[in-house]
Amino acid sequence: MKMTLAEIARIVEGEVIGAADVVISGVAPIDEAKVGDITFVANRKYAKQINTTRASAIIIAPQQREIVGKNLVVVSDPYVALGKLLKLFYPLEHEQRGISPEAYVEEGAIVSPEANIFPRAFISHGAKIEKGVVIYPGVYVGRNVSIGEDSVIYANVAIYHSCIIGKRVILHSGVVIGGDGFGFAETGKENVKIPQIGFVQIDDDVEIGANSTVDRATMGKTWIGRNVKIDNLVQIAHNVVIGENSVLAAMVGISGSTKLGRGVIVGGQTGMVGHISVGDRVMIAADSKIHKDVEAGKIVGGKPQMPYKEWLKVEACRTKLPEMKTTIERLVKKIEDLEVKIDKHLK
């Protein structure tokens, strides 16, 4: 594909500074770009490479518009513009077309002829697969599962019975949707299993990374809201609710019945206890341990959680602990010596 810089600017809603008729044939990182490529600067640490890049054009933020000697496209968010161009120049192609005769589709399943089902996928009776859905080899779709238009289910995903997958959902390899929630009575004694009779609902435009799991509800539903993005190796327990536009980084674990509001951002390796509520637009630092409710709009971190700025002060002190211990021991010794002197004086 080839486009002029003016055409690209219209697509990304930007302003051209320089030669609007320069032809672009690819997108590349700033240190690897060659003539004919467009690159971007979304992080200030790469700004020093602007003068040395061979790219024919650079996508920049408004505060960088004073750059001279380069063809520029000024946009409000260079990273968003990059995403649009990558989709345009490098569209994802699914080679299989139609329903493979080597896929196993049980009687009673409804599969759109416009779906794309690879060999060795298994689709159970009662399942409904809408048009544009792509299902790769090794996928198991349980009974009465529904998968909305244009969703992509990569190899070796398991979707247990009765789960609902919305439109344009992406499930990466190894994802398990609808496995039993971790429900047991007399824990540590008899470990009596509590049947998990609910389901999982995943709304439109959700993406879930490789080897992540979303457990079915004990009763009712585990619910992942619209446009939620979940990284690899994330555990979502039974009856959890995650509000739309939230983002969870890798190795997050959320215990049962916890509810996250809209636009929540959770750093990697964060753990949350069950039955708590995290408000809208909360930000949680990586490796935090959330043990109680968090009010909307708060930024927290630490183990246990505390206000983010307070946590930064605690972390700043951590490296000084040996020095502080030595100082405290020295002060304690001085106090003890003074006490001995005072006792002698009083006698």
Q: Which helix (H) or strand (E) holds 339?
A: helix 321-346
Distances (CA, A) of 17 to 24, 67, 69, 148, 159: 15, 10, 10, 42, 49
How many other C-beta atoms are found inside a 10 Å radius of the C-beta of residue 318?
Answer: 7
How is residue 233 written in tokens?
A: 């190796």
Please tell me the predicted confidence (pLDDT) of residue 213.
98
Long-range contacts of range 87-93, CB-CB < 8 Å, 24 or more positions apart? 88/1, 88/11, 89/1, 89/26, 89/27, 90/27
Please tell me the predicted confidence (pLDDT) of residue 44.
74
Please tell me the predicted confidence (pLDDT) of residue 95.
78
Active site residue 238: yes
Whole-prediction pTM value?
0.89
Q: Which of 161, 238, 275, 291 is catalytic?
A: 238
What are φ and ψ of residue 159, in 5° steps? -115, 105
DSSP state of 99: B
3-89 is a CATH 3.40.1390.10 domain: yes
Q: In tens digits, what is the pLDDT along the chain, a chain of 347 residues?
A: 899 999 999 999 999 999 999 999 999 999 999 999 999 998 777 778 888 999 999 999 998 888 888 999 999 999 999 999 999 999 888 877 899 999 999 999 999 999 999 999 999 999 999 999 999 999 999 999 999 999 999 999 999 999 999 999 999 999 999 999 999 999 899 999 999 999 999 999 999 999 999 999 999 999 999 999 999 999 999 999 999 999 999 999 999 999 999 999 999 999 999 999 999 999 999 999 999 999 999 999 999 999 999 999 998 898 899 999 999 999 999 999 898 888 877 76
Where do the structural domains in the chain lie, given as residue ranges?
3-89, 104-309
104-309 is a CATH 2.160.10.10 domain: yes
Cβ-Cβ contacts under 8 Å for 79 (sequence gap 6 or more): 40, 42
